[in-house]
Amino acid sequence: MNAYYYRLVQAGGGRRAGVVHLAMERDFSARLWLEKHHDATVVSLRRLPGWLGQVMRQVSRSGARRIRSEELAGMLRDLAVMTAAGIPMIDALQTVAGEESIDRHSRVAAVARLLLQDLDGGASISDTFARHHDIFPETVRNLVTIGDETGTMDTMLMEAAEHIERLGQLGRDTRRAMIYPAVVFAAIFAVALFWAYYVIPNLADLFRNLNASLPPFTLAVLAGADWLGRNIIPSLVLLVVIVVGLWLALRNHRGFRHACHRLAHRLPIARQIVRASGMAFLTEHFALLIRAGLDARSSLEILARSTRDEYYRSRLERMRHHVERGELLASAMRQIGGFPPMAVRMIAVGEDTGTLEKQLRHLAREYRLRLDHLIGSLSEIIKPAVILLAGALFLLLVIAFLLPVYDLVRQAVAGPVY
């Protein structure tokens, strides 16, 4: 992909300049494309250095709005329907890009225009999708490549659309289960800050003015609230730094990600969730790749790049080395470990009977159902846990402050003792 800076004169006399990325090796071909595309005469054309073109492409992408999974699935489904009806891919993309006349802010139309620009610039369909890795997941890009090479583009696009829809639904279910505890925890955190920054200091002044004798627990809470009130800004800054640091470490440091994922696979509740989600992802992707005609080694290589779970990624990489030596998948899974026995057994049956894809689809459906059940159960478990946490916080405040206030009021009502 080469970047060109151009200046041209349009048929009506207007002038235009800009930067365009084209999959062309010769400048003359780029000049012809610009003149045909803009109905103009190119006055100046200059190829930019490769690094500068990449920087400008990344900057332009970062400013664009990300397309949602349901929008991407709908776009792929529309392309699958049109290509199945015999409509060429360029015409199908032009139809999708025409949605901008209905919705001026359509992200689907913007993606279709990007693909059309690459196709008009001389790239193949598979290369066009492969260049936009920030839009299309690797599994989708590989399915498009297979469809382009085998002439089954409509089938592969429909598989990709259904796959994205399933993953999107799974993500929405997970977020929906986390909304309630997130809101409650945020409310508890806000109330705790309000007490620490406003209520407790006023109570502390009251106790000092009355020369009240306070229990050790109340004194400890007052000392902690006083420290937090004096260091509220540095504490919040430190909290933000820790959160951002953990996020950056998870994003950029594979060793840290691997340690976190290994820990998640050992914790009681998290272990069930990450195992079900990881196996649902792996078996569904594996079934798609096997159905598309890829061999086991290539499928494992793609899966290792696609999965975000470093626990399974390291095992998939080791499995690929075992398969390259001629071993069966089930045998490699048993030697490496870390996979559920039921999955190993069903994959072994699939390899023995030639029904590997069928067994993988059965496993994917089973683990999706398990994950749905776990997420539903988790939301029901979290609700009473959050209520207990809020009750514990209220009880702490009662013990620390309300009981001393009650003692002061009782002493004031009883009057002085002579």
Q: Which domains does the chain have, with CATH numbers?
A: 2-62 (no CATH), 66-165 (1.20.81.30)
CB 364: neighbour CB atoms within 10 A? 21
Identify the CA nearest to 293 among candidates 165, 167, 152, 166: 152
Q: State the sign of the Cα–Cα–Cα–Cα dihedral 267, 330, 144, 164.
A: negative
Q: Which residue has the tokens 């309300």?
A: 402
* Residue ranges of the chain with per-residue pLDDT less than 70: 1, 21-26, 28-29, 33, 36-38, 50-66, 99-105, 121, 174, 177-178, 379, 411-418
Determine the Cα–Cα distance for residues 304 and 311; give it in Å rounded to an integer.
10
- Please give the pLDDT value at position 37: 67
Determine the Cα–Cα distance for residues 322 and 335; give it in Å rounded to an integer.
9
Determine the Cα–Cα distance for residues 368 and 261; give it in Å rounded to an integer.
20
Determine the Cα–Cα distance for residues 201 and 403; give it in Å rounded to an integer.
17
Determine the Cα–Cα distance for residues 121 and 1; give it in Å rounded to an integer.
9
- Please give the pLDDT value at position 194: 79
Determine the Cα–Cα distance for residues 225 and 279; give it in Å rounded to an integer.
46
Q: List, in sequence order, every residue forming a beta bridge with 44; answer none if it has no partner.
A: 7
pTM beyond cutoff 0.85: no
- Please give the pLDDT value at position 348: 92
Q: List, in sequence order, every residue forming a beta bridge with 6; answer none if it has no partner.
A: 18, 45
- Please give the pLDDT value at position 241: 92
Joined together, the tokens standing for residue 91 give 């015409």
Q: Taking a C-beta distance cutoff of 8 angstroms, is the pair 40, 9 a contact?
A: yes
Joined together, the tokens standing for residue 164 give 């994205």
- Please give the pLDDT value at position 389: 78
Determine the Cα–Cα distance for residues 129 and 140; give it in Å rounded to an integer.
9
Residue 197 DSSP label:
I
- Please give the pLDDT value at position 345: 92
Q: What is the pLDDT of residues 312-347, one digit of tens each?
A: 888 999 999 999 888 898 999 999 988 889 999 999
Residue 47, H or E segment: strand 40-47
Contacts for 31 with CB less than 8 Å, ≥ 6 apart: 42, 45
- Please give the pLDDT value at position 57: 60
- Please give the pLDDT value at position 306: 77
Alpha helical stretches, state H, 135-215? 138-150, 153-194, 200-209
- Please give the pLDDT value at position 105: 57
